[in-house]
Structure formats: structure tokens, C-alpha cells
């Protein structure tokens, strides 16, 4: 949760306007999806860095 913060970028969509989910729930969904797909990842401050290695 330390990395979760609202970001306002002109011209891009805002998650706040497209979902009612809390940021922690969105992060958890991303992590579960990446793990289920076998995508290696690490979390940075405000982003995910992903490496896909097909089997």
C-alpha cells in the first residue's frame, strides 16, 4: 500500500473514474493475474515491471 497513490495525468483516464474498487484490491487482482499467467514481476514505486518467459 505504500506505493499506491492517485496519479492525475492530463489526457489519460483515471482509475477513480472507471472503478469503485479500492487501489489495494486492484493491485491484488494484478498480482494474482500475473502469477496465474506465469509472468515474473517485481513492484516498483507506482509500477510493475514484468518479464514473460513462455514455457
pLDDT tens for 1-36 read: 666 666 665 665 555 567 788 888 888 999 999 999
Report field, pTM of the whole predicted structure over 0.75: no
**Among 32, 33, 49, 31, residue whose Cα is nearest residue 41:** 49
State how far the Cα of 7 lies from the Cα of 24, in Å rounded to an integer: 15
Q: Alpha helices of 1-55 — where are they, by DSSP H?
A: 15-18, 23-36
> Is the pLDDT score of 40 beyond 60?
yes
Give yes or no for a contact between 45 and 55, defined as CB atoms under 8 angstroms apart: no
Q: How far is CA 25 from CA 10, 37, 41, 44, 54, in A?
A: 25, 18, 18, 17, 27
Amino acid at each position: 500500500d505504500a506505493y499506491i497513490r492517485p496519479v492525475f495525468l492530463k489526457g489519460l483516464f483515471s482509475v477513480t473514474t472507471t472503478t469503485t474498487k479500492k487501489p489495494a484490491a486492484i493491485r491484488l487482482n494484478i498480482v494474482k493475474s500475473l502469477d496465474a499467467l506465469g509472468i515474473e514481476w517485481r513492484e516498483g514505486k507506482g509500477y510493475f515491471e514484468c518479464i514473460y518467459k513462455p514455457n
